[in-house]
């Protein structure tokens, strides 16, 4: 059995299939982890969702990214802002839209495999949370996405504040902080406040800001974590964290890393940039 973590697919279904060919993915015994942003920008978002849904939760582990939440927001009908580069209509206009959206709402924001000793998140985790705290915080948001009135979530979870974690945060503010960490985070200030604006490479980072994985005293520092979301960082291992977003939709690459066996082996495939 092999376990592969794959970076942001963003609707690049054909390349995902080619990558599975390259790694000789065996759908009987292997497992793949998709680090979020399964949809948008690329041409075949609906096919990516159908693939993950049809494979089932034992074979494909998924965490939600900001683009996946953007799709859910648009599916509610109460949020109707689409960027001109959005390609989520392939899902919104699909005959099986309802099925795909219901499936997407059941997915996690954080995944942890105790036996492998690996976790997965789309963006990042704040320094204050241990792995088990990440799991608990993620479940708070996951529970709301499963409610009958799940659409309400999308009325409240936009904005860059609160920036600082406190166990006293409650209500939508608490869910917004958690969602921002797991789906948008790249940098934190030295004092732990989230910085959600700068998206560039760490070598150009503003003073007193750190990559989330470089935060001093990060409680999850000794744990293996794979993440996506950060195409300007590029792929690579940083301490015990593994960056997987190689900018598939920007004419870059789609990347997989095998995480069940050392040395960790990386696989990339060039994406057809049209």
Q: Which span sits near Mn ion by CB under 5 A: 20-28, 30-38, 103-111, 154-162?
A: 30-38
Chain-centroid distance of CA 222 in Å reads: 20
Percent of residues in the chain assigned helix, strand, coil, to nearest 5: 30, 20, 50
Is residue 124 within the footprint of Mn ion (CB under 5 A)? Answer: no
Work out whether strand 31-34 and strand 3-6 pair parallel, antiparallel, or are unpaired: parallel
Number of residues that bind Mn ion (CB under 5 A): 4
Q: How far is the CB of 125 from Mn ion (least distance, A)?
A: 15
Among 229, 249, 253, 254, binds Mn ion (CB under 5 A): 229
Asked if 89 and 41 touch (Cβ cutoff 8 Å), the reply is no
Q: Which position's Cβ is nearest Mn ion?
A: 229
Q: Distance between CA atoms of 246 and 266, rounded to whole angstroms?
A: 12
CB 227 within 8 A of CB 243: yes
| CA distances in angstroms from 57 to 62, 152, 235, listed in the order given | 8, 26, 26
Nearer to Mn ion, 7 or 25 (CB): 7
Which stretch, 90-98, 106-114, 202-210, 222-230, contacts Mn ion (CB under 5 A)?
222-230
Element (H, E) at 118: strand 118-121
Q: Measured between alpha carbons, how far is 107 from 215 in angstroms, rounded to an integer?
A: 28
Greatest CA separation found in the chain?
A: 49
Mark the segment that binds Mn ion (CB under 5 A) among 19-27, 36-44, 107-115, 166-174: 36-44
102: its two tokens: 């219901």
Out of 10, 31, 40, 66, the only residue in the binding site for Mn ion (CB under 5 A) is 66
The interface region with Mn ion, picked from 72-80, 107-115, 144-152, 223-231 by CB under 5 A, is: 223-231
68 touches Mn ion (CB under 5 A): no
Per CB under 5 A, the list member of 7, 11, 42, 65 interacting with Mn ion is: 65
Residue 262 CB, nearest approach to Mn ion (Å): 28
Q: Is 15 in the site for Mn ion (CB under 5 A)?
A: no
Give the residue, chosen from 37, 47, 68, 195, that forms a contact with Mn ion under the rule CB under 5 A.
37
- What is the C-alpha separation between 92 and 203, in angstroms, rounded? 39
Which residues does 98 contact at the CB level (< 8 Å), separation at least 6? Answer: none
- Residue 41 engages Mn ion in binding (rule: CB under 5 A): no
Q: Mark the segment that binds Mn ion (CB under 5 A) among 29-37, 54-62, 158-166, 260-268.
A: 29-37
Binding site for Mn ion (CB under 5 A): 37, 65-66, 229
């Amino acid at each position: 059995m092999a376990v592969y973590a794959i970076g942001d697919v963003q609707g690049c279904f054909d390349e995902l299939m080619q990558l599975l060919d390259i790694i000789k993915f065996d759908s009987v015994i292997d497992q793949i982890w998709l680090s979020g942003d399964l949809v948008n920008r690329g041409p075949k978002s609906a096919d990516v969702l159908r693939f993950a849904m049809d494979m089932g939760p034992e074979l494909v582990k998924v965490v939600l990214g900001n683009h996946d939440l953007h799709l859910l927001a648009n599916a509610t009908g109460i949020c109707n802002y689409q960027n001109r580069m959005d390609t989520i209509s392939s899902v919104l206009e699909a005959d099986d839209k309802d099925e795909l959206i219901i499936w997407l709402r059941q997915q996690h924001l954080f995944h942890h495999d105790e036996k492998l000793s690996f976790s997965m998140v789309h963006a990042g985790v704040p320094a204050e949370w241990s792995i088990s705290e990440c799991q608990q915080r993620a479940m708070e948001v996951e529970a709301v996405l499963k409610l009958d009135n799940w659409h309400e979530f999308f009325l409240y979870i936009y904005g860059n504040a609160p920036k600082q974690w406190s166990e006293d945060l409650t209500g939508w503010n608490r869910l917004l902080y958690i969602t921002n960490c797991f789906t948008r985070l790249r940098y934190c200030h030295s004092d732990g406040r989230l910085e959600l604006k700068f998206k560039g490479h760490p070598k150009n980072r503003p003073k007193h800001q750190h990559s989330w994985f470089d935060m001093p005293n990060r409680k999850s520092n000794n744990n293996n974590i794979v993440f996506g979301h950060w195409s300007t960082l590029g792929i690579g291992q940083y301490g015990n964290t593994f960056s997987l977003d190689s900018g598939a939709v920007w004419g870059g690459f789609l990347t997989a890393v095998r995480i069940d066996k050392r040395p960790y082996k990386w696989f990339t495939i060039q994406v057809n940039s049209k």
